[in-house]
Chain A
């Protein structure tokens, strides 16, 4: 079913909207959640919450790109779950992601002051558009979707070592871009 039709079902308060969303994007949402949380039950809970959040948010929202919109909802819920549970549980996927993202954090002392996450998203988007298509794809797949490095290397038929080096260069490039823009987190 087309995304527009699914969104229309949400607007009509038709419960089939959730069924159709799950049918089309259930596996994808689960993958996004599991890549971050790496605990099956929590990933399932995260996806179920995402459907509820979609039900509560549409309307008034009308996402143009439902897949990306759902993924963002899943990521937000996953982060909340991490905040809630990380003292008791080890979410290895998320911890690994965060430890890599430390490389991107700009040095403090920038003049513009800290930015909110939407503004930060805009700056990162601009930086991404300056990258090659391959770099854009790899960055989004690793740091947005949370795909593991070895899985990415396998799927793309590349050497894991070379990929790890490339990702490191990308992270450093992002940090430089953020510093250039005067972004402080």
Chain B
């Protein structure tokens, strides 16, 4: 390979930053020109073929999932509120049914036939669940779980086998992550040619109280950490405003969030009060599961799709704990 070509490579490296950024930001939609049309493939027949194959796949998947009992009409679905949150699916205890048609476009994956825990691909929003447990960080530095390239030596003990998945990975082995071998909420499965992290969420069958939601995640017994954040979801400006691993404090907080039942809408609550002082309380279990509630001290109410009023004195104490 000639030195001159390498010099040219170096020269191209140094083209103006603006040219680079604008080219990287461009999309076929933003550069829609006749020139592009002239280069375009004649694709109608490919689309036709793809549509036919897609139909076959959908019908095949439907039949296969139906046969295994994974894909069936939900007997119990709690519809989302105004926030547009996803549905809470009913679980294995309700005739082994876990969801509706929306599952077809997801990445839901089930292990060892257990329909009570739904696994999905790890996203950056999940890092707060696991990275605090990596006391010494990840090897080789400068990595997060979201970008960590999983190697063979990261595979811990086999946790089980995928028994149903919208990703088409049934039969794949499931491994613990060697650095966090006790977690069931984080595992490694081979998908699309690579080992990838999957995250487990408990499928809630009883959402009538905060206690029930915590209990489904093995808490308060398994709770090892509570953290409070200043936003409703994990996003760029999210800040942790409180955290504790003190068992006594964890126990007290779990007691304080105990609700007096639930309501289904805003109507029982003063909306003005809901506009102030939002924070989010997250409960982390030693197995890597987690539950969270938005907390409006002024209302006082906790929210997880539904509304869970708590006694004012409990809210006051909770507020004092998380705002020392």
**Which chain A residues have a beta carbon within 8 Å of chain B's beta carbons?**
1, 18-19, 22-23, 26-27, 30, 40, 44, 47-48, 51-52, 63-65, 67-69, 71-72, 75-76, 79, 95, 97-99, 101-102, 104-105, 114-115, 117-118, 120-125, 128-129, 132-134, 136-137, 139-141, 143-145, 155-159, 162-163, 166, 185
- CA of A114 to CA of B3, assembled, Å: 12
* In the bound complex, CA of A103 to CA of B147 (Å): 37
* Additional A-B contacts beyond A98-B9, A134-B35, A159-B39 (10; CB < 8 A): A18-B142, A23-B146, A95-B1, A117-B14, A120-B8, A122-B14, A134-B31, A144-B15, A158-B39, A162-B38
Q: How far is B26's CA from A114's CA once the two chains are assembled, in angstroms?
A: 33
16 pairs, A vs B, C-beta closer than 8 Å: A22-B147, A44-B140, A47-B142, A52-B142, A65-B21, A75-B13, A98-B6, A121-B11, A123-B11, A133-B26, A134-B31, A144-B13, A144-B20, A155-B28, A163-B39, A185-B11
Residues of A within 8 A of B323 (CB): none
The answer to whether A101 touches B8, judged by C-beta atoms less than 8 angstroms apart, is: yes
Cα–Cα, bound, A166→B23 (Å): 17
Q: Which residues of B contact A132 (CB under 8 A)?
A: 33, 35
| Residue in contact with A48 in the complex, picked from B21, B35, B140, CB distance below 8 Å | B140
**Chain A residues with CB under 8 A of B10:** 76, 79, 117, 120
Are B147 and A120 in contact, CB atoms less than 8 angstroms apart? Answer: no
A69's nearest neighbour on chain B, judged by CB, is: B17
A52 to B142, CA, bound (A): 9
Residues of A within 8 A of B236 (CB): 1
**Residue in A closest to B36 when the chains form the complex, CB atoms:** A134
Q: Are B8 and A185 in contact (CB under 8 A)?
A: yes
| Interface contact A124-B11, CB-CB below 8 Å | yes
Q: Which of B9, B21, B23, B140 has the most CB of A within 10 A?
A: B9
B132 within 8 A of A: no
The 8 tightest CB contacts between A and B, nearest first, are: A121-B14, A120-B11, A140-B23, A117-B10, A68-B17, A158-B39, A68-B20, A65-B17
B19 within 8 A of A: yes
- Cβ of B105 within 8 Å of any chain A Cβ, yes or no, is no
A136 touches B23 (CB 8 A): yes
Q: Write out the residue numbers on chain A whose beta carbons fall within 8 Å of the beta carbon of B147.
A: 22, 26-27, 30
B14 near A120 with CB under 8 A, answer yes
Contact across chains for B15 and A125 when beta carbons are under 8 A apart = yes
B255 close to chain A: CB less than 8 A: no
Which A residue sits closest to B42, measured CB to CB?
Answer: A159
For the complex formed, measure the closest distance between the CB of A77 and the CB atoms of chain B, giving whole angstroms.
11
- Chain B residue numbers with a CB within 8 Å of A75 are 9, 13
> Measured between alpha carbons, how far is A157 from B40 in the docked complex, in Å?
6
Are A117 and B13 neighbours in the complex by a CB distance under 8 Å? yes
Cα distance A151–B140 when bound, in Å? 30
A65 engages B18 (CB within 8 Å): yes
Which residues of B have CB within 8 Å of A63? 17
Say yes or no: B15 contacts A156, CB within 8 Å: no
Q: Which residues of B contact A166 (CB under 8 A)?
A: 39
Measured CA separation A120–B12 after assembly (Å): 8
- Cβ-based interface call for B2 (8 A): yes
Task: Give the complex CA separation of A93 and B235 in angstroms.
Answer: 36
CA A159 to CA B46, docked complex, whole Å:
13
B1-A143 in contact (CB<8A):
no
- Let me know if B141 is at the binding interface, CB within 8 A: yes
A84: shortest Cβ distance to chain B, in Å? 13
Contact in complex: B23, A144 (CB < 8 Å)? yes
Given B36, B141, B149, which contacts A156 in the complex, CB threshold below 8 Å? B36
Q: Which residues of A contact B35 (CB under 8 A)?
A: 132, 134
**Chain B: CB-nearest residue to A153:** B41
Greatest chain A CB density within 10 A among B2, B16, B23 is at B23
